[in-house]
Amino acid sequence: MTSGAKTPEDLAYCKRRFAKKYQIPFPDNIALLKTYHELIEGKSIRPSTLIEVLLRTRPVRSLSGIINISVLTKPYRCPGKCLYCPIEKGIPKSYVSGEPAVERAKRLDYDPYLQVKKRIEMLTLEGHPTDKIELRIVGGTWSYYPRKYQTWFITRCFNACDDRGPTSLNQAQKINERAKHRIVGLSIETRPDFITDDEIAKLRKLGVTMVELGVQSIYDDILKKNLRGHGVRETVLATQLLKDAGFKVLYQIMPNLYGSSPARDLKMFKTIFTDSRFQPDLLKIYPCALLKSSPLFNVWRQGSYRPYTEKQLINLVQAIKKNIPRYVRIQRIARDIPSKSILAGPAKISNLRQLVGGHCKCIRCREVKGNYDPQEKLYLFRQNYPASGGQEIFLSYENKNRTKLYSLIRLRLIEVRPQSSRPTALIRELHTYGQLQPINSDNANDRGPTSIISPQHKGLGKRLIAEAEKISKREFKLKKIAVISGVGVRGYYRKLGYRLKDTYMVKFI
């Protein structure tokens, strides 16, 4: 049926013609993929990468070089009393019914094993490779959950990727180093006032590589007015502690909070990327949503809170995007809260990113995605900037006019704190973008109808690591460098001479 089809548009035409000719329902891609795999198993046809790519549902899911899987924790009490936070029975605080991750978790009784397992199965049915998984654990304040539950939860997530029964956390991690579905990144979300040296040590043992901080605002008066329970000082301290330990740091920021204004919100975002105390690596812009289940509802009903208009929010986000540095990725611009649950305000806009329009300089807007051209010349770019008491060096491979980002690395140089055994040179992130390539694929063939065109497995990551090592040794006279590696990527670093020590991959240079 796909004979002659080279593009999704060709395939759609073939499907319509086929359905009309045989008077049958329009066949969906998932059903066709299932039949395709059955024919391969029966050796009736040969595997075809072209067919797999054409039948892939929502291709964007694997165009950043990884597959993202979100897993929700069980409902549990939260230490916060935030004015804007919804409270719904049977759901972790700050989450609401109707959000995709929430509905999946509810159906599976918040079982981490089943959430991961079923998500892998669905992504596979949709035609996506699932070799490289970025696991995102969401729900409530992670650091407030009992330690025993945390260990069990993450262990079961690893078990689902390893297709094994219950094991210890250490066993599960060791198995995952060579598993079919490898966890190459693991993130949790928590409050800045819960980040301590002890908490960081525990997060590393769990395999966490990125922390989403619920910062919301960098103004003490706004935080106090919204009953956040901590101030800017805690955000600054948490940011430095996390970066010094090698973590990627994501800020969740909430425009439209009670007591703020569009002008002040814009100033806040400018400050976040000009004040060295902040400088997050990633950003989620979550405009405050007015929900009946939040205490803010009563403030609004009394007339003390006025949400921004749609025009105000769109103008604000457009202005924010103009000031985003090249080393920052805007992960999201809105939550998946169903619009029918939002009583008033611009958070009801479900397609905010599309309405804002245009590309900015952020990583997400510049990722190469499916636009890889193997003939295009790549250039190595370097940007140094001070952040949280250290020196950040952002290296990237991009095209000449910097509209397509292929690969990046974040190198952090810090001064050793008293009684600290942490290395002073830390690789906090290494990422090559484009279509996810299966782990055991060498991606040697760039041409032909059955090849997957992707910059992955081309040696870009190795070249960036070599450059980071050279900078650390020659410019900073260091003898050792460490990587906060995801469990599933440890094997990659071993091939480059790194060895596991105290949850980090370390190399003497």
What is the reported pLDDT for 442? 60
Q: pLDDT per residue over 487-502, tens digit each?
A: 999 999 999 999 999 9
AA identity, residue 40: I
Q: When comparing pLDDT for 452 and 149, which is higher? A: 149
Distance between CA atoms of residues 22 and 171, nearest Å: 53
Q: Where does the pLDDT of residue 389 fall: very low under 50, low under 70, confident under 90, or very high at 90 and above?
A: very high
pLDDT in tens, 198-213: 999 999 999 999 999 9
Query: Starting from the edge strand earliest in sequence, which strands make up the sheet with 210-216, in order?
Result: 67-72, 132-138, 182-190, 210-216, 248-253, 282-285, 329-332
Residue 27 pLDDT > 80, yes or no? Answer: no
Alpha carbons 7 and 2: distance in angstroms, whole number: 10
Is residue 450 over pLDDT 60?
no
Stretch 333-346: mean pLDDT: 82
pLDDT higher than threshold 50 for residue 449: no
CA 161 to CA 117: how far, in whole Å? 7
3-state secondary structure of 229: coil
Task: Assign 61 a pLDDT band (cuts: 50, 70, 90).
Answer: very high
User: What confidence tens digit (pLDDT) does each residue in 282-310 have?
Assistant: 999 999 999 999 999 999 999 999 999 99
Q: What is the pLDDT of residue 420?
A: 53
Look at residue 151 in the predicted model and tell me its pLDDT. 98
pLDDT grade for 225, boundaries at 50, 70 and 90? very high
Which pLDDT score is estimated for 421?
Answer: 53
Give kind and range of the element (H or E) at residue 405.
strand 405-413
Q: What is the pLDDT of residue 317?
A: 95
Q: Which of 376, 495, 490, 370 is nearest to 437 (CA)?
A: 370
Which stretches within 126-186 are classed as H helix? 147-162, 169-176
Domains in the chain, please, with CATH? 8-55 (no CATH), 59-190 (no CATH), 205-365 (3.30.750.200), 379-508 (3.40.630.30)
Given this model, what pLDDT does residue 49 score?
77
pLDDT in tens, 359-384: 899 999 999 999 999 999 999 999 99
Stretch 350-358: mean pLDDT, rounded?
78
**In the prediction, which pLDDT does 416 show?**
60
Q: Residue 415 pLDDT > 90, yes or no? A: no
471-497 b/e (C-beta count within 10 Å ≥ 16 → b): bbeeeeebeebbbbbbbbbbebbeeee
The most confident of the ranges 38-52, 135-149, 406-420, 439-453 is: 135-149
Q: What are phi and psi of 354, to 5 degrees?
A: -70, -40
